[in-house]
Amino acid sequence: MGGNSVSHSNIKTKRKFYPNLQTKKFFIPEDGTYITLKVSAQGLRTINKKGISACLKEAREKGFLTK
């Protein structure tokens, strides 16, 4: 996403907004293995709410994961 940085004197320069990505390691109890994912802060909240297994299943159904 893009936008403008606006200074105190109202000068506008182009800038970019980047997602808040975190590299996290998750334990999958069904497999007994760990998986490393690069997820956004909102993605971490979703994983905490639904659980890693449900999120992985949903991601495979949508085609985000190919394993």
Looking at residue 2, its amino acid is: G
Q: At residue 55, what are phi and psi to the nearest 5 degrees?
A: -70, -40
- Domain annotation covers residue 37: yes
pLDDT tens-digit series, residues 10-27: 999 999 999 999 999 999
pLDDT tens-digit series, residues 30-43: 999 999 999 999 99
- Domain annotation covers residue 34: yes
* pLDDT band at 67; cut points 50, 70, 90: low
- Domain annotation covers residue 27: yes
User: If you write DSSP's letter for every residue of 15-54 in order, what string do you get?
Assistant: EE----EEEEEEEETTTTEEEEEEEEHHHHHHHHHH-HHH
- Domain annotation covers residue 3: no
The verdict on pTM exceeding 0.85 is no
- Domain annotation covers residue 10: no
Domain that holds residue 34: 19-67
Q: What average pLDDT is seen over the chain?
A: 93
- Domain annotation covers residue 2: no
* pLDDT band at 65; cut points 50, 70, 90: confident
User: What does DSSP assign to residue 56?
Assistant: H
